[in-house]
Amino acid sequence: MLPDKFKRAIREKAISRAHTRIILAGRTPESFSADELEVIVREEEDNIKNNYKEKGLLAVAALLGLGWWI
């Protein structure tokens, strides 16, 4: 669905966010198993994709003049 370039960019951003999330929790990435790290990164990827979708819908609504009713 998404080109590889965008998938890579989203993945890198998700990894960065996951690292920040782990540090803020007072832990190190090494204290997690590979499966746990994958779950955290997947959650961040989903958050990023949802944010992009939400912003896209708001942009379309603004173009149609529906901004005040949403």
Quote the pTM value: 0.77
Q: Which of 11, 50, 52 is nearest to 19 (CA)?
A: 11
pLDDT band of 67, cuts 50, 70, 90: low
Which distant-in-sequence residues (6+ apart) come within 8 Å of 67 by Cβ?
A: 58, 61
pLDDT of residue 69 exceeding 60, the answer is no
- Cα 26 from chain centroid? 21
Q: Which structure tokens are listed for 40?
A: 């955290």
Residues 7-65: pLDDT tens digits?
999 999 999 999 999 999 999 999 999 999 999 999 999 999 999 888 887 777 777 77
Q: Which domain holds residue 39?
A: 4-69
Q: How many domains in the chain?
A: 1
Collapsing DSSP to helix, strand or coil, 28 comes out as coil
